Structure 1
Amino acid sequence: MNGPHDLGGRMGFGPVAPEENEPLFHAEWEKRALGIVLCCGALGYWTIDESRHARETIPHTDYLRFSYYRIWLTALIELLQRHGELSAQELASGHAQTAGNRASRRLSVDGVAGVLAKGGPTSRPLENAPLYPVGTRVRVLNLQPTGHIRLPGYLRGHIGVVEAHCGGHVFPDTNAVHQGEQPQHLYTIAFDGADLWGQGERLSVRADLWESYVEPV
């Protein structure tokens, strides 16, 4: 979707100013926010793709003024309400009124390290062969979905060259909206910087794109 998160190549947002020696957290509440998000994810209601999509659908005027972890918490509230773990009354009062629905999946302190170490691998076996061998020139489709997509907007319509085949991976567009993993072949595709930006000779950009995002030239 054309959400506030997709700022690549967009003008008018000022320079990128990295913070020297940036701390992991800028406030104590951010630590708690991260912990709450991870623990709620362990309940198993949503995938990483659905959680990303929940953040993307925050209104532009809020997303662009919220801090990183406020965006996370705002999306988490939406997810918990969507899946019946948080009511409007509980949100307004700040207190739980009923027991959680999945107490058996509660993440204990001792289990945190194991969950983080496990991660969330997305590689999946595929029976069909990849359509595009290394070296194939492909054009990125001009996709404009209302749902989740992992295709950067600035690549739409541009031509690149397949540089590597990354195997089969969960397709985030369907996984985000409870339509199943539907894995596809994933490719690393190289683009000419001058073609993308109108400047930047000898600059190249590489993006990992799913097979349904491109077509042969």
Structure 2
Amino acid sequence: MTRVHDMGGRYGDGPVVPEEEGVLFHADWHPRAMAVTLAAGVLGQWNLDMSRHARERLAPQTYMRFSYYEKWMAALANLLVEQGVVTRGELSGETEPQRSPLAEKALKPAEVAAVLARGGAVDRPGGPAPVFAVGDAVMTRAPAENPQVRGGHTRLPAYAAGARGRILRLHGTHVLPDSNAHGKGEAPEPLYAVAFPASELWAHPEHPGDEVVLDLWQSYLRPAP
């Protein structure tokens, strides 16, 4: 079943309208939303894939109604409570906040630039050996579901399930979101750039000769017959 967030390539949502280059925020509170989300992530109580999955788990009516950064804040509130960083009462203001044992992990102003510059790399040494090479024909698994966790997080979009493409390049070995989003370990796998003809993804593409390139993990793929 396609979940509400998995809307890539869906008919009826209108064209993609690129924003003006360099515009990151459209309201005064947007940079604050981004800052508090990044600051909370530094506490180490969840990972990048868990935060993405938290946004996907928002109720469909909420997801469709909320703007981009409203989704961020709603997902962050859920993570803070789920991971025991704060109580629901503290978050709502119904009870007095208590000093958290995580307080010492809070970023100091002087540390912010270095932490942001360091980023959060998701490539890892080792892991399974690549089984595909550049130019190989592959097919994606179908349906596009997490095989480890029913209804769980995956980076394989529904519109590409069961599609035939070709390997463009190998990115190396990267953390597998399907596992990492659910606390089952990083389970790193080879990650490939895979090109799909538009005619393979949609029955009536406007430009059949176009290609869509997706970054996909090895377990998402099998050799094409």
**What SS does the aligned partner of 2:24 have?**
coil
Gapped regions of structure 1 (runs ≥ 5): none
Structure 1 ranges of 4+ moved more than 4 A: 19-22
Matched residue, 1:56: 56
| Structure 1 residue 60: Cα displacement | 1.2
Q: In the aligned structure 1, how far is the partner of 2:172 from the partner of 2:212?
A: 20
Q: In the aligned structure 2, how far is the partner of 1:124 from the partner of 1:98?
A: 38
Q: 1:135 to 1:90 in 2, by over 3 A?
A: same
Higher relative contact order (CA 8 A, sep 6+): 1
What is the CA RMSD across the aligned residues, in angstroms?
A: 1.8
| Structure 1 residue 187: Cα displacement | 0.8
Q: 1:27 to 1:127 in 2, by over 3 A?
A: closer
Matched residue, 1:79: 79
Q: 1:23 to 1:189 in 2, by over 3 A?
A: closer
- Paired residues, what number? 217
**What SS does the aligned partner of 2:132 have?**
coil
Matched residue, 1:186: 191
Gapped regions of structure 2 (runs ≥ 5): none
1:71-126 CA distances to partner (integer Å, 9 max, x unpaired)?
Answer: 00000000000111121211222665211220110101111111110011111112
Match of 2:173 among 168, 176, 191: 168
Q: In the aligned structure 2, how far is the partner of 1:95 from the partner of 1:14?
A: 44
Q: In the aligned structure 1, how far is the partner of 2:52 from the partner of 2:2?
A: 13
| Structure 1 residue 150: Cα displacement | 0.6
**What SS does the aligned partner of 1:64 have?**
helix
Q: In the aligned structure 1, how far is the partner of 2:192 from the partner of 2:212?
A: 13
| Aligned amino acid, residue 183 of structure 1 | P
Is the 8 Å Cα contact of residues 149 and 172 (structure 1) preserved in structure 2?
Answer: yes
Q: 1:68 to 1:118 in 2, by over 3 A?
A: same
Matched residue, 1:158: 163
Superposition TM-score, scaled by structure 2 size: 0.90
Greater CA deviation, 50-59 or 143-152? 143-152
Q: In the aligned structure 1, how far is the partner of 2:96 from the partner of 2:35?
A: 18
Match of 1:201 among 180, 204, 208: 208
1:30-69 equivalences in 2 (<5 Å): 30-69=30-69
Q: 1:98 to 1:5 in 2, by over 3 A?
A: same
Matched residue, 1:214: 221
Superposition TM-score, scaled by structure 1 size: 0.93
Q: In the aligned structure 2, how far is the partner of 1:19 from the partner of 1:94?
A: 40
Q: In the aligned structure 2, how far is the partner of 1:185 from the partner of 1:191?
A: 19
Matched residue, 2:132: 132
| Aligned amino acid, residue 204 of structure 1 | E
Q: In the aligned structure 1, how far is the partner of 2:190 from the partner of 2:137?
A: 16
